[in-house]
Structure formats: structure tokens, C-alpha cells
Amino acid sequence: MTPEFCAFFHRSKQCVHSLAANGMDNKLFPLFDLAYQGFASGDLDNDAWAVRYFAMMGIEMFVAQSFSKNFGLYNERVGNLVFITNDPVATSNVKSQLKIIVRRSWSNPPQHGARIVATILGDPELCEQWKANVRMMAERVKLMRQMLYEQLCVLNTPGSWEHILQQIGMFSFTGLSKSQAEHMRARYHVYLMSDGRINMCGLTTTNIEYVAKAIHATLRSIPAE
């Protein structure tokens, strides 16, 4: 789940309950993409509550969990696929099929990143230190959101920017159009996606004013599509 999706789950628990009930009624098989655990609220447990609720309800599912972001192991591509079944025979069958897929796909992957994660999770002291680092990172992103919002307000940048504060996690959808995003990249070397999504982790106290001014100037010169 992206931080934005985690935010939706946090604010709409009744909707999660409905999704779970609807899934059971229609025999759906959920797949959770847990890519940013901890970056939504700063709490690893809070960010996983929807997954755990589905598990508590006895719903069979897959959970694709990534450690690339919350462990800072982008180049290692570390993660795991958790599967939950209610039948030992099904568990054995799924495990057998996954082994075949793994064998054909990569067989013997590098262990460096996986051993880092295993070492930290297996050491209570290191694990607590890691959790504190995740909380610190989440709080830092919240601060960058607040500062960007304030800078845009000071500049009287066209539009409403409350959505920057309302969104959570590593990324923010600024609302800039494709042509505006292209202008930001070409003119100001501020690199955001064509859909206007910007990486909040790339903002710092030293560059946030520049980014805000670039957004302001772009909106003044490039009309919305």
C-alpha cells in the first residue's frame, strides 16, 4: 500500500470493514502491496492494520512487502511475499508453485540486502533503532509538507494547496499538469513525474524555497491544461 492508500485506510476504517465483508461474500482474493510501511503514520503497526484486519477475519490473501524504502535499500530490492491460507493442503500447494516460479525467475538471489534486514529485525536493540529512524523520517516528511505549503502561501501561488498537508507519505500529487511538470524539469531542474507527483524526501530546508518559487513561476507562465 502506498502512504496515500494507508491514509485512506486510516481515515476510512468502516470502508475497510466493508471491503473485507464484500471480499468474503464474493470470494475475492486480495493482494496487498505493502511498499511503504511506516511512512504513512510513522508507526509500522498502524500502517499495517488493514492487512492484519483481513488476516484476523480469516481472509486468504497475498501480501507483497518491500523493504526497499523503509530500510533504505533501494538498490538491493529486498522484500517478501506473504501468503495466508486456511487450509494446510492449499498452503503446501501455493508454496510448491512459488518455489517453481522462484527457481525459474532468479533461483539464487544476492543475500546482502536480505541479511541486513534479517539482522536488524532479529536484534531487539537494532529493531527499535530502526523503528525510531522510520518515525523520524515520517516526521521529517510531514515538516517538509508544512514548509512547502507555507512557502506557496507566502508567495500567493495560484490555487489551493491544502492537499499537500492532507496527503501523507513520501510523495505528493501537486496538481501540476504534464506541461507544467515538463517546464519545471526543463527550466528549473526540479524533477517531478508528468502527473505532477513529487518526492517529498527530496525536499530540504535549503532547497524548499527554490522549489516553491519554481512552482509559483511555472503556474504564472504555463496555463493549466
pLDDT by residue, tens only, the chain of 225 residues: 555 555 555 557 788 888 899 888 888 999 999 999 999 889 999 999 999 999 999 999 999 999 999 999 988 889 999 999 999 999 999 999 999 999 988 888 889 999 999 999 999 999 999 999 999 999 999 999 999 999 999 999 999 999 999 888 889 999 999 999 999 999 999 999 999 999 999 999 999 999 999 999 999 999 877
Domain ranges of the chain: 3-122, 138-221
Count CB atoms within 10 A of the CB of residue 28. 14
Q: Tell me, which fold does domain 3-122 have in CATH?
A: Aspartate Aminotransferase; domain 2 (3.40.640)
Cβ burial of 201 (10 Å; 0-12, 13-18, 19+) is: middle
User: For residues 144 and 136, is the Cβ–Cβ distance under 8 A?
Assistant: no
Look at residues 72, 50, 46 and name the one whose alpha carbon lies nearest to residue 59.
50
Q: Tell me, which fold does domain 138-221 have in CATH?
A: Aspartate Aminotransferase, domain 1 (3.90.1150)
- In whole angstroms, give the CA distance from residue 143 to residue 207: 14
pTM for this predicted structure: 0.82
